[in-house]
Structure 1
Amino acid sequence: MRLHRLEVAAFGPFSGSEVIDFDALSDAGLFLIHGRTGAGKTSILDAVCFALYGQVPGVRNNVKGLRSDHAPPGAGPRVVLETTIRGRRLRITRSPAWERPKLRGSGTTTEHAKVVLEEFEHGGWTGLTTRLDEAGDLVSRMLGMNAVQFCQVALLPQGEFAGFLRAGADERRKVLERLFATEVFTQVEKWLADRRAATGREAAELGAAAASVAERIAETTGAAPPRSSMPPRAGEGLAVPQPRRGEPAAEPFAEVAALPAWATELAAGQQDVRAAVEELGAGVTAALRAARAALDDAKALAARQRSHAEAVARRDVLAGRAEEKSRTASRLDAAARADRVVPLVKDVRERHGRAVQARRWAEETRARVTALLPPKASEDVLAKAERDRRDEAAALEGMRGTAARLRDVERQREELAGELRRLEPHDARTAAALDELPGIVAAHRTELDEAKAAAAGRRGAEAAVEDVRRRLAAAHRRDQVEDLLARAEQAQRDAVDTAQEARDRAQELRQARLDGMAAVLAGELEDGEPCRVCGSTEHPAPVASLAAVPSEDEIERAQAAYERAQERRERQTGEVESRRSERDQLLETAGDVPAAALAAELAEAEEAFKAAAARAAEAERLEAALRRHEQELDRARDERDRVTRRLTESRIRAEELAAERARLASDLDRARGDDPTLEARIARLTGEAGALGEAAEALRASGRAEEELSAARAKAAQEAAEQGFGTLDEVLEAAMPDEDQGVLRDRIRHLDDEEAQVRGLLKDPALIEAAAAPPPDLPALETALRAAEAAHTEAAGAADRARYRCDRLAELRGELLAAVRAWLPAAERHEVAERLAGLTSGKHAANRHAVSLSAYVLGARLMQVVAAANERLSRMSGGRYALVHTTAKSAGDRTKGAGGLGLRVADAWTGQERDPVTLSGGESFITSLSLALGLADVVTAEAGGTEIGTLFVDEGFGTLDEETLDEVMDVLDGLRDGGRAVGIVSHVAELRARIPAQLRVAKDRAGSTAEIIV
């Protein structure tokens, strides 16, 4: 990477735009960047880093805002860098986020960070990206290093490397981790530590599972669990003895492997107990079987004796109930015969009732038609009279349409009469209106023409009023704004004076602070403590200040007062510009005419507008009235024609309806006869026909009922005689419901079954033999059985418990064996993980130096850095000093496994190794410079060999004597090999004579400037 051109504007201490031509400086190979303290030498390096990565080095990156405090309010900060990286010419334009004044109103708004990355190709600049993240990624990939690495490689901050030289292993480790990609080794350490913990938890959980099975085995057998050999449960820690350094590790969890043998021994003892219990149970079972058999035989004999005695008693009872059984059988026989006749008797009763009802119906219907026919008229006469009346009613049905048409004609005649009464007066009114309306329309048309002519000037009068009113409002506002503008200009002048005074005060205090900074630093020096500038512990001639040095608080208060005054100045300036712009616009509208003259002109214009508006309103009213009367005339003419046509049509229709009504009335009078209406005649004939038909039907039904009754009586009498009954009443007396017959039959069947059962029992040889035998002693036999059952229960329980223990123990032994088999590989994995984690963390005995893996890798990088640094340190120190890498841990190293990052300084004059803190200020400078250059070489190689064509060495030369400075300059001059340019940042005056190519940075109250001297 080679820098060509840098442009900064409103950035850091540079208030204006400064351009630095690095090509002109690089031609000399070695150039000097110098200037007064605080002028902005380091800000140039900040600008380079910001252009590439969007951030500045070190702690300055956390400072909010990179915009220059000296820049004008609206000037935006910007950095433009042209550089060549891996053969590609790039131009990077970056702007940090900053607060700019609002374009309208007061206050500020945030301008976000921006970037434009361009590449020079084909004779012009081509845009690559404007995204912040893409630009940063592209630069990082091309350089092969991040911002931290770039700052260490290209900027060489000497103050940081002096601290790196003297730091302990912990702090040195943090710096190296930022520069070298050792995250993978740290992740390996963490992964192995996590693996060790995970395998430990796994082994503990599996060991606890095996211990749980062993406890269940002990609980099942009643044996004591082997507590002394049990591993801890999950979460209680691992029972792995920690070996002393240099001793082999003991086998972890050796006791768990012995659990299966312990369980096998318990199983053998339980099998012996089971065999003894089963042998005892066999004898008890035989005794129980004999006692149960003797009791069963005695109970059977007693039962047979009871059965024989009960059979004898039942036989005597059945003999006394023989007569009752005979009567019940006779009654059931009579009921069975009566069941064959009862349905016929019931049928006779039903038919008798129907015959009586039919005769009553016939008598009632004949009584209703006695007025129409003779009292004793036959069925045929009734039927003929019914047919005659139905035929006449059917003939009259055809006249219903005639009656309906007559009613419709009457209704139409009434409607026509009402319409004629309404139309005749309306016709007279319409004729009168037609005589008046033409004259009214002509008069209104004449008045309307006159009003329209007078209202033609209303629009012009209205426009004149609006124009004068607008000019008058502008004149009033013009007078107000002129007064406000005068006051705003006065306030602006006051604000400018106040802001200028506050700025001068802040700059004077800051300059006084800078001028007295040496005295402040000298006042803080203590004997034996290193100087923060040169690093020396000796302070032979500290500076003393005669004038009072302002404090930081005073400077901050003065700066805050200046910022507040500046904000007020910007607000007042914005207000003046706003008022002046508003006044100019109002002058364009109102001019210089006084407001009083415009008010009088407005009154005249309003009067003219009111007169024109009145005539226009009158014209609108007249036009509406004319249009209304013209419409009324047209409607009157149309209405007169319509009414005349309707009158003619209605009179003709009334004559036609009168003729039709006379004809229809004559036809209906002939049809109704003596009845009042046609409907009444039809209803009368239909009712008489229905009564006659009902009477004929009643006569026919009565005859059929009498015939059916005679036949039913004859059939019932015949069946009763055949079943042995003299009369129908005897049949009803012998009849019995089915439920009662069922009860009697069940009673006879029960007696028969009981007699048969008793006869069978009395003939049973076993009962006869039992009756002859003596009764058994049942209580004594039951007592013997209970004793045998108790002994058997106790023996069976013991056998079941022994069998359960053996079965359960076999099951648990299988679980225990599986648990131990699962535990063994987990324990082996944990042992391997424990050893590897200890090795990588530096805590295992095999790691002789107690160095972690990441520290070991960083130590290898540090060895490379030391080797590269010693090449230059030997030349700078005249062969006296050399850096030595050591793995020993110093007293201040608190982190375990952080060894391997120690640095010592070998002194060839004394043959001893020294701690870097014992070096003087100049010795520390050349040593840390060598270390920085060596680290730059190693980081460059680590980043893929990206060549850094332009690098900077920042400060520290003031501590060197003349001879050492010559050696250092020779080394730095050697860095130019291969066309590399080296910039030295220093305010040492001697370097100005040694290095002709210079970049001078000057400062004043308005900000810093940069100038190239070649």
Structure 2
Amino acid sequence: MRPLRLYLENFGSFRAPTSVDFHDVDYFVLVGPTGAGKSTVIDAICFALYGTVPRWGDEKKVGLALAPSATSGKVALVFEVGDRRYGIVRSLVRNARGTVATREARLDELDPSADPAQDVTALLASPVRTLAEGDHVTAEVERLTGLEYKFFTQCVILPQGRFAEFLHATPSKRQELLVQLLDAGVFDAIRQRAVEEEKKAAAAAQAAEDQLAALTDADEEAEARARRRLEELTELAERVQGSLERLRDLDGRVTAAESELSAADQAVRTLGTVAMPPHVPTLADDLRAATERAGQRAEEAENRRRAEQQAYEELAALGDKTALTLALKAHEDHARLTGQLATARTGHQQAVADVSRAEDRVRQAEARLEEAEAHLQRVRDAHAAADLARRLTVGEPCPVCLHPVAEPPAHPEPAALQQAEDAVQGRKAELEQARRHHRHTQTVADKAEQAVTDLTGRLQALAEQLRAHPDAAELRKKLAAIEEAEHAARRARQEAQQARAAADDAERHRAKIAEEAAAALRKLDAVRDTLVPLGAPPVDRRDLHAAWTALLTWRDQELQRRHRSRREAQERLAAARGERDRERGAVRTLLEEGGLTPPKALEPDAIGRAVATARARAESDLEGVRERRRQAAALAGRAAEHREAAQVAHELALRLRANNFESWLCGEALEVLVSAASQTLKELSDGQFELVLDARNTIEVIDYAEAGMRRNVRTLSGGETFQASLALALALSEQVAGLSAGAARSLESIFLDEGFGTLDPATLDTVAATLERLATAGDRMVGIVTHVPALAERVPVRFAVSRDASGSHLERRSA
């Protein structure tokens, strides 16, 4: 696992969104003061992958992941395993009770061709497929990295304060880790596969032996019997061949005789069906009579058509009936409108008189109103104080003194003043009524005037129209003549239609008889065509009756000749059938003597097929015996091969089933790791310490400062323990790919959290050189967490971590 991009938001002490770019880094250091949040960056990588962090103590505890007072947070990691790229996202949420839970967890395979320099959001936006979600994400990460969480924190991430876990682990715990790292489980898979292969091979051997036992007639004697039978049938086929040729010749003679007899029978039947249609003798006379009658009816129809045409021409000469009818109606309308105009003029004069009277009434009402208003003014003048007091309003200024009115003065209401005001109102009402009446009479007068104008205009238009027809009596006379001419034209049309119908009936009758004559002629042709193969002579088609008579005469003569041919064909057929039956009997005897069942139809082809089929079956039987003998030999060889394969698989399973195989394998791997770690520790300790294994695979240390004394690694001091643990971690990182039994499982990164402060300057320099050598190999990423300046200054990429009131912050700095 090699990280490319890390994103934190409200994770631990990192409140603000923070992105860490690892894509071009092989060796980096996280530096900063104690408590700044350096280890939180490593925690975020571990949390993104496994959903937990070693420092929390409880793998199921996620509450410490979310920054205090934050309601939600997020960690995203883009990383590579081998040549594949993956993206993982874990989102956190705090509910109303303060409980923190994982809201989302998703693992996607990403497009490896995307530029890794892009930010996390852009890289996560190029998923190839989703590998896992929710609770299944961690298991899929373990499958990809090949490491469970507890081993990941011993081989890849070495957390602060837990460097010595692998060093101090019991042999069984170390073996459990090595089995997973080295993919030693593949040997158990091989053993299980060997057991399966043994079962398959044994089953295949048994199946081959069962098939061998089921084979019958697979010996030399069976092959000899099959060969003799084939020879017998070959001889029989040669003897039958001559009879088959004679039978085919006799079949040909029978078929020819049957054909002659069938032809004679067919000719007799065909000749017997020839008969003259019963109406042929009278057809010619009937056609002539129908043709004459049709001509007469056609001539009469033409005469009636000309009479109809003349009647309509005479009708057209009398003039346009519609125009004359309209002219007569115009005379009637003129008389009616003249009376209406006189009435309208009288009404208009009356309306004008009504308007004049209404105007007089309005003037009188206006005069009475003026008189009443003058009287009212006189009364008001006489009672001015009382009238003014009535008009005062409390709060408004007085029109006399201009002071606001506090209380209206109390003056008695004069009765004369009220009466005068009522009189004015009454006169106003009379005036309004008179004016309404005037408006009504004026409207009536306007309408009457308009009616006179309209009627006058219509009469003038009718007078212009009647100039061409000033006499109404003459119009009525012309219209009567047109009515009489129309009646005559309709009668002529009816007679013409009747004549045309009679002509059509006569023509249809003639056509029907003509079609009957044509049908009789076609039947003559059709009958003769069927008789042409029998030798029918040509006929004269111009005389239908004579043609039919000549054809019937020939028919009678041909019938006599065909009856004689039929008797001769019957005699030849009987002779050929008798000879064929005798030959079939001889062939039947040959087949039965040869052990064959004769076919029901003793036809040459059926007999030939029966003999050929029997011979082919004998050949097949012989080949079958030979094939079974070959199969028996092959099955015997295959059974032996499968038995041998089963034995090999059995031996392999026994070897791998040994209880100490896994322990032996892990012990060998541990020896390699301890040997490599010992070399590193010797350099780190300036030759003081080496690591060795005791008989129970417990790691011990040789202390050359104590005369090479061997002692338990737990007796090492804190700094010495860190050196030994670091040596083992580096050995694991370098050696695990070469030791893996399955596909090479390379630890592509290692992260070391603190511990360097316990080293003296010389040892620190050796550690720094060792880490630099590991990083420059180019096949893994090395990351360290330290606050030791001397070590941090030697690392090419530094991530400076600081912390203020708003949380932790990270800045990348290059050496």
TM-score, normalising length from structure 2?
0.37
